[in-house]
Structure 1
Amino acid sequence: MISRLGPNNPPSEVERKSAELADRRILVIEPTMELPHALRGVTGAAITIARLTTIDAALIERTAPDLVLSPLLSEAFDILDLARVMIRYGYNGPLRAYSLPLPNADLIRREVRQIWPNGDFDIFEIPNLAPSPNFSRRR
């Protein structure tokens, strides 16, 4: 990732989020949206992609994720569903959702923290997020 940092060029939100993902073991759950170029270009990360229905204790143990990344909302589940599954299988590391910019992301953060009270949760709000070619929208 190219950064033009300096005293007058602080890092962008995407650059800060990309730096958070570098050199991590990341478990990505059912990516339904294309991640922007800056996030796809994260260096040194070991990325495992899984479906929600395949998550179990063995997957968590085998992948030993430093971070779990998921769309905030998909056709099959939302971040609350994923948080419940991760709790069931003993994961308590960082959980990150990504979505288009939201009118009130703090409301969602509070909702997730009700069921993930000791967990590290945040939302990556990414402008211009486009549907993945593999994601079919309901009509």
Structure 2
Amino acid sequence: MPTRHRGRSDAGMSAGAGPGVDSVLLIDLPVEMTAALPDLAETTTLSAQFDEVDIDYIARHDPQVVFAPLVGPRFDILDVGAKLLRCGFTGQLRALSGPLPNLGAVRSELRHHCVGLDVDIVVLTPPAATGH
């Protein structure tokens, strides 16, 4: 069952959501990734498992942006992109990742495989350690 949240903030644009986004879908995001996401201004946020997302789900909820982990335990962002394309999704796909050694190469590979989607990678930096 998808979870629907209503958020408020001005940080959504920094996550690549862009202006005018009404609905954001979070696919199988671990708690630590969800917590690291900026709040999404005036946006309905849906949470779903990878297996829940199909053509009917996309048609019913009409997300403009989808966030998913770059690599997960059961799928990776290329699987998400392929599924979204089969479902007729044409919006923004954002892969969430920690720091990568060659961000440009990974971004290029993702764009090569997900033609038809606006794809990018959001690098989540770990919280700064406090000196106690």
| Shorter-chain TM band | 0.7 to 0.9
C-alpha displacement of 1:108: 1.5
The structure carrying a bigger strand percent of its residues is 2
1:83–1:116 contact (8 Å) kept in structure 2 = yes
Aligned residues: CA RMSD: 2.5
Moved beyond 4 Å, runs of 4+: none
Pairing partner for 1:27 from 20, 25, 28? 25
| Identical columns (%) | 28
1:101 aligns with 2:118: no
Count of aligned positions: 118
Within 1, Cα distance between the matches of 2:98 and 2:72? 13
AA in 1 matched with 2:98: L
1:137 is aligned to none
1:58 is aligned to 56
C-alpha displacement of 1:36: 4.3
Note the residue ranges of structure 1 that are not aligned, 5 or more in a row: 4-13, 130-139
For normalisation by structure 1, the TM-score amounts to 0.73
Change over 3 Å in CA distance of 1:19–1:55 after alignment to 2 = closer
2:10–2:41 contact (8 Å) kept in structure 1 = no
2:15–2:37 contact (8 Å) kept in structure 1 = no
Change over 3 Å in CA distance of 1:114–1:15 after alignment to 2 = closer
SS in 1 for 2:66: strand
Within 1, Cα distance between the matches of 2:113 and 2:37? 31
